[in-house]
Amino acid sequence: MGTQVASLVAQPEVSRAHWGVAVMALDGTPLYGYEEGQYFRPASNAKLFTSVAATQMLGLDKRFTTTVVGRGDIANGVLQGDLILKGGGDANFASGYVLPYTPKAQRSADAKPAGLADFDDLAAQIAAKGIREVDGDVVGDDTRFEYAPYPAGWSEEDMMWGYGAPVSALTVHDSQLDLTITPAPAGTKASPTIVFDPAVPFYTVNATPMDGHVWSVGTQDLKRNQVLEDREPYARDFHFFGYVDARHGAYTDELAVDRPAEFAAAALKQALEQHGITVKGSIRAQHYHSQFLGSDFEASHALPAAAQVPGLNPFAEAADSHCDAQSAAAVGQPSDQEHLLAEKQSVPFAVDLKLTMKESQNLHAELMLRNMGVNRDCMTGLYLHTALAWERAFLTREVGLDGDDFQLFDGSGLSTKDLVTPRATAQLLLYASKQPWFATWKDALPVAGVDGTLRARFPDAPYKGHIFAKTGTLGESRALSGYLETASGRTVIFSVMVDTHAPSDGGSDTKVMDAIVKAIAGAF
């Protein structure tokens, strides 16, 4: 095994990269290691750590509730005050995904995401209570978490795109706009059609002509559609410039909603008006801004006070009812000055777990981490460092990881500051394999040659359907960790990571990584 790995990582295309491998039996016996104690950027392998902690502490049946409350008196069908849409941390509110997760090839033709139907449901509930007018604003309230939309180490260049959407307790359609630019028919001079999904009256396109347009072309030798997309941070106008050709079909992309709470308020206002409810005011967001004066890094490494209570298991699954603070303001229950007008409950955590891991959904993983922190710490405006402290306490005290074997700054792995060792990752996978929820959690991992982010890798026997693992890709870092059914019939745990490979290696890092996994399959 050692000779095979040494030969593979010595190939000229990848020899300058930093490689690490850990292989472990299901009884915890180390089977092979290559730089397994060194640090690597885990990329989306960080979701393994987040999801194990969240599954243990939240439980597979956990749900989250989005509520609408009226703040003020209600008389003759008029709410004399603001209408508050309170985010409860539901990653799948007005989802852009088909739930429960099903590979595209297996979906029925009529399977559609919920989309704005969730807003229609809320508006219908409000109308059923006799509300005909809101004499105030529609407010998107995401104060369940502190306003810290971009964790440390996230790159500015990712902020534009759906995979880099900001974190908020109130998200719509995964805080993502699906862009479609459809060329005009060949032979015409009409402009292409530009459509955002979901269709919410919030963002505009090319408000200033000098910022560029997209043209349909039919006479140029355009080998593919070419479009540049731009938006100033937190601006509401997108600028598109380029060319599309009917011969190449529609141009599509996924853009981040960078003002999610305000966007959600706009979506609710639209739904209210469609149900005949007049809104006199405007839309706005309500955030909880940090008042923490210390070091976030030090706070994320401190043991939470609630984890030090003698005689209690601080990491056992706990319902929200264990904490009055959470079951009140933190989850959106109305105070004495507020009237509950509508609510929408999420799908069970297990459903979101499968989607998050199969599709490597960054925003959903971030919400997992923060919801876990709220469930433990019982506070409105939960600080990110508090959620990270609970995760660290769980990983060191419950899982038994060496605290120096990992440094995590977010829940998704999008942070370039995240560092883990292959050894710690294998130990985490060992812990998961011994839990009562393991079958459900393992089922959420991508399967080689079948689904998720592994559907195009290991497409042939004997590997197809026999590798259950989480992928990771971030800049010049790659990772693959999970469970492998070997040629001998046994199942082993593995973690393979590579860092600082050449950007121009043409995918050689992934090819070598897959070759290492195949070598493991043959060796054990």
Is there a domain that residue 388 lies in?
A: no
Question: Do residue 245 and residue 289 come from a single domain?
Answer: no
pLDDT tens-place string over residues 182-204: 988 877 777 888 999 999 999 99
Integer Cα distance of 256 and 319 in angstroms: 32
425 and 516 part of one domain = yes
- Average pLDDT (493-499) is 97
Tell me, yes or no, whether 439 and 299 share the same domain.
no
pLDDT at 17 over 90: yes
Least confident of 111-115, 165-169, 270-274, 442-446: 111-115
Statement: residue 10 has pLDDT above 50: yes
Q: 230 — alpha (psi -120 to 50), left (phi > 0) or beta? A: beta
Dihedral sign from CA coordinates of 233, 238, 239, 240: positive
Mean pLDDT, rounded, of the chain: 92
Q: In this structure, is residue 475 part of a structural domain?
A: yes
Q: Answer yes or no: do 243 and 108 share one domain.
A: no
Mark which of 352, 369, 392 sits at the end of a domain: 352
Percent of the chain with pLDDT strictly greater than 90:
77
Q: Mark 380-410 as b/e (b = at least 16 C-beta within 10 Å).
A: bbbbbbbbbbbbbbbbbebbebeeebbbbbb
Residue 315 located in a structural domain? yes
| CA end-to-end span of the chain | 9
What local confidence, expressed as pLDDT, does residue 246 receive? 85
Is pLDDT of 234 > 60?
A: yes
- 426 and 519 assigned to the same domain: yes
Residue 281 burial (CB < 10 Å; 0-12/13-18/19+)? middle
Long-range interactions of 508-514: CB distance < 8 A, separation 24+: 508/11, 508/13, 508/14, 509/14, 509/17, 509/478, 510/457, 510/478, 512/8, 512/9, 512/11, 512/13, 512/14, 513/478, 513/480, 514/457, 514/458, 514/480
20 with 91, same domain: the answer is: no
Which residues make Cβ contacts (< 8 Å) with residue 150, sequence separation at least 6? 159, 166, 167
Residues 145 and 183 in one domain: no
Does some domain include residue 58? no
Using one digit for the tens of pLDDT, what is the confidence trace for 69-99?
A: 999 999 999 999 999 999 999 999 999 999 9
Task: Say how many CA atoms lie within 13 Å of 436 toward its Cβ.
Answer: 6
Is position 462 within any domain?
Answer: yes
Yes or no: say if 213 and 206 are a contact pair by the CB < 8 Å rule.
yes
Residue 314 has pLDDT above 90, yes or no: no
Where in the sequence is the domain holding 142, given as residue range(s)?
Answer: 65-155+259-352
Which residues face 338 on adjacent strands?
A: 71
- Which of 256, 279, 300 is where one domain is finished? 256
- Which of 196, 225, 256 is the C-terminal boundary of a domain? 256
Domain count, the chain: 3
Q: Give DSSP secondary structure letters for 132-193.
A: -EESS-EEEE-TTB-S--S-TT--GGGTTBGGGPPP-SS-SGGGEEEEEEEPPPTT--PPPE
283 and 241 co-located in one domain: no
Segment 202-222, tens digit of pLDDT: 999 886 554 456 777 665 667
Same structural domain, 151 and 270: yes
Residues 396-430: tens digit of each pLDDT: 999 999 999 999 999 999 999 999 999 999 999 99
The pLDDT of residue 330 is: 41
- Residue 363 falls inside a structural domain: no
Tell me what the mean pLDDT of segment 156-183 comes to.
96
| 275 in the same domain as 251 | no
Residues 143, 263 share a domain: yes
Whether 391 maps to a domain, the answer reads no
Same domain, 427 and 494: yes
At residue 211, the pLDDT reads 45
Q: Give me the CATH number covering residue 151.
A: 3.50.80.20
Q: Which CATH number characterizes residue 478's domain? A: 3.40.710.10
Q: Does residue 358 belong to any structural domain of this protein?
A: no
Provide the pLDDT for residue 319. 64
